[in-house]
């Protein structure tokens, strides 16, 4: 499918434009006009990120994801992950608008070297929340930093995407933060285990699609503008899926939005 391609550095400025707050100070990206125009005016913004769901896997298995397909068929862009195409680096880019040379993140236990969207939210009397799993980037990096900025972080046990979804909807309902972000990690796990091209991944993609459907329905009722994207893709390696290179399979990910 043909669509405009934007750098991952454009995500944080897009979130800021939707919420009518400044972009993080060291951001090098710009708001993605298509998304900002559609979602601006929403009281809140949520980013849902199925980990490692790249354009390569979408091309192979899109029929297993009818809900996500219904959104992509309405409108979508392609995001180009920054190098290296690994999870901590690209989630750090999502919340800063800068690449690794700007945010300084190489691993999930490191500290940001620039302003993030969470500092901007706090400075503008708004709240952000990160919902993820213990031992993963959303819990160990993004959630840790959100807490440091006086924002909300919730953590589920590892390998529990359904609990993450439950927690996210609970936070959205009870705390109503203006910004929510979550990472659904099962996709990355199963692509690593089986290879992205293996039919064994299909049942997990069907589960992920149903999970996204439930999240979107719940968040839309609370006036969240919703962006669905991924941090990177994966390619078939020697016996397993892998990523980290600048090849298209690792770098190009679908991005869609709704409200």
pLDDT tens per residue across span 12-55: 999 999 999 999 999 999 999 999 999 999 999 999 999 999 99
- Domain housing 189: 5-258
Is residue 134 over pLDDT 90? yes
Task: Give residue 1's pLDDT band: very low, low, confident or very high (50, 70, 90).
Answer: low
pLDDT more than 90, % of the chain: 98
pLDDT surpassing 90 at residue 81:
yes
Residue 6, H or E segment: strand 5-7
Strand partners, 207: none
Name the pTM for this structure. 0.98
> Which phi and psi angles does 29 have, rounded to 5°?
-95, 180
In the numeric block, the tokens 């692509």 are attached to 191
- The CATH number of whichever domain residue 35 belongs to comes to 3.40.720.10
List pLDDT tens digits, range 83-92: 999 999 999 9
Q: Specify whether the CB–CB gap between 172 and 128 falls below 8 A.
A: no
Collapse the DSSP code of 89 into the 3-class scheme (helix H, G, I; strand E, B; otherwise coil) and give the result: helix
| Beta partners for residue 252, in sequence order | 80
What's the structural domain count of the chain? 1
State phi, psi for 94 to the nearest 5 degrees. Answer: -55, -35
Phi, psi of 102 (to 5 degrees): -95, -50
How high is the pLDDT of residue 24?
98
What is the average pLDDT score of the chain?
97
Q: What sign for the dihedral angle of Cα 56, 14, 87, 176?
A: negative
Rounded distance between C-alpha atoms, residue 245 and residue 242, angstroms: 9
- Per-residue pLDDT tens over the stretch 148-199: 999 999 999 999 999 999 999 999 999 999 999 999 999 999 999 999 999 9
pLDDT classification of 239: cutoffs 50, 70, 90: confident
- The answer to whether 257 and 75 are in contact (CB under 8 A) is yes
How many helices (H) does the chain have, and how many strands (E)? 13, 10
Closest CA to 122 of 92, 149, 143, 103: 149
Give the pLDDT of residue 107: 98
Q: CA 136 → CA 87, 92, 201, distances in Å?
A: 9, 13, 20
Longest dimension (CA), the chain: 49
- β-strand pairing of 252-258 with 152-156: unpaired
pLDDT band at 243 (very low <50, low <70, confident <90, very high): very high
Strands 128-133 and 241-242: unpaired
């Amino acid at each position: 499918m043909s669509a405009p391609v934007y750098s991952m550095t454009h995500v944080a400025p897009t979130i800021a434009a939707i919420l009518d707050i400044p972009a993080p100070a060291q951001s090098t990206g710009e708001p993605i006009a298509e998304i900002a125009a559609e979602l601006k005016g929403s009281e809140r913004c949520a980013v849902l990120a199925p980990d490692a769901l790249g354009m390569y896997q979408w091309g192979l298995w899109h029929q297993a994801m009818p809900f996500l397909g219904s959104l992509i068929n309405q409108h979508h862009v392609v995001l180009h992950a920054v190098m290296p195409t690994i999870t901590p680096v690209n989630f750090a880019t999502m919340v800063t608008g800068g690449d690794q040379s700007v945010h300084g993140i190489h691993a999930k236990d490191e500290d940001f070297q620039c302003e993030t969207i969470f500092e901007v939210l706090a400075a503008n009397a708004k709240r952000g929340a990160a919902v993820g799993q213990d031992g993963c980037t959303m819990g160990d990096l993004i959630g840790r930093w959100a807490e440091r900025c006086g924002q909300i972080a919730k953590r589920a046990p590892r390998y529990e995407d359904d609990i993450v979804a439950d927690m996210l909807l609970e936070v959205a309902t009870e705390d109503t933060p203006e910004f929510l972000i979550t990472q659904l990690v099962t996709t990355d796990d199963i692509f690593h285990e089986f290879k992205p091209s293996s039919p064994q991944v299909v049942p997990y993609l069907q589960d992920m699609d149903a999970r996204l459907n439930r999240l979107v329905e719940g968040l839309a009722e609370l006036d969240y503008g919703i962006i669905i994207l991924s941090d990177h893709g994966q390619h078939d390696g020697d016996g397993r899926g892998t990523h980290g290179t600048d090849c298209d399979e690792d770098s190009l990910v679908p991005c869609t939005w709704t409200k």
